[in-house]
Amino acid sequence: MSFFKSPLTRALSLLVFILLFGTLGFYSIEENYSLFDALYMTVITFSTVGYGEVGALSDQGRTFAIFFILIGFLLAAISIRFIVEYLISGWSINALKQKKNREMINALEGHTIVCGFGRNGRQAVTRLKRHQQAYVVIEKNEQLIEENQEEIMFLKGDALKDDILLAAGILRAKNLISALPDDADNLFVVLSARQLKPEIDIVSRVSEEHNQSKLALAGANHVIMPDKIGGDYMAALLTVPDLIHFLGNLDWWKDENSPNVEEVTLSTIPKQFQNKTLAELELRKRTGCNVIGYRDEQGKQFINPDASLSLSTQGKLIVLGSGESIKKLNEMFQLD
């Protein structure tokens, strides 16, 4: 039975058995003992307190007492072993896990901190994992951590506390996602994160539309309202279904032929490809990818940019292609 798999459960079961065995034994042998007298004799005999007998024991009672003391000590020793095993195993496993997590978190650089592992936080982590982006999740719900700790790197704690954000490596982090269910909590996290590291890129969830401007003023670079996005998506499925289905298929690595969208930061590509025009790069010819957008260093966006457009090293390209085409693009630009 799974109930008896825990060493602590086994120990408690043995102790209960000792009490029942002694109580029923004294009660059945000594006719003048009440049930409470038998329980009292069991406790003082087993604990070796020696307050004195409730009443004179018969020869059969003394014989049972000797037998009970021997059996009781044996079962008590086994119970203590189970308790020590439970404590040592629990402490050692938890200590090892916490130590391992701390070491892994301390080794992170340029990672993303996700505050909260609810529906939105879980989806954010899924996307980060698909992009092979380093992350750590701050969560205080022990049950959520226990259920997902084999796959997710957690830091147990309250994201509203500065010391937890520091332990998550916010001074080395590149991004922070605040996906807590309460707007006030998200506001506090954004304020703390912006104060601890002014240059960090912050994405925050918001539940109430009137709080969007407050989170932006607090320092969030992007404020997302999941309910609004969900409603817009449902309405779009009715008004422009084919477009939505196409965009919905722009997912990462479903298969080699599925369409994918990739963002390329031009400052990270090899120098021989920098400060070139689209015509000179010949991305479609070399990789099969189509450039569908470009954003320059001032943030100006170009949709379907002209081939003669000169690309700044501080700009970003948005390309569309199959999984195989995106792989060729990454190989060409030596991207991870």
Q: Residue 242's pLDDT is what? A: 81
282-317 confidence digits (pLDDT tens) = 999 999 999 999 999 888 899 999 999 889 889 999
Of 10-24, 73-87, 230-244, 287-301, the range with the highest mean pLDDT is 287-301
Query: The domain containing residue 200 runs over which residues?
Result: 109-230
Q: Where are the alpha helices (DSSP H) in 48-130?
A: 59-106, 119-130
Residues 213 and 271 in one domain: no
Compute CA 117 distance to the chain's CA centroid, rounded to the nearest angstrom: 6
Percent of the residues in the chain that have a pLDDT greater than 70, as a whole number: 89
Relative to beta strand 259-265, strand 316-322 is: antiparallel
Q: Which of 101, 117, 143 is the last residue of a domain?
A: 101
Contact 280, 310 (CB under 8 A): no
- pTM confidence score: 0.61
How many Cα atoms sit within 13 Å of 309 on the Cβ side? Answer: 20
Q: Which of 184, 214, 230 is the last residue of a domain?
A: 230
121-175 confidence digits (pLDDT tens) = 999 999 899 888 999 999 999 889 888 988 899 999 999 999 999 999 999 999 9
Mean pLDDT of 25-42: 83
73-90 confidence digits (pLDDT tens) = 888 788 888 777 776 665
- The CA distance from 284 to 275, in Å, is 18
* Strands annotated E in the chain: 112-115, 135-139, 154-156, 175-178, 201-205, 222-224, 259-265, 290-295, 301-303, 316-322
Compute CA 120 distance to the chain's CA centroid, rounded to the nearest angstrom: 12
Residues 177 and 264 in one domain: no
260-275 confidence digits (pLDDT tens) = 788 899 998 999 999 8
Q: Which of 195, 230, 265 is the last residue of a domain?
A: 230
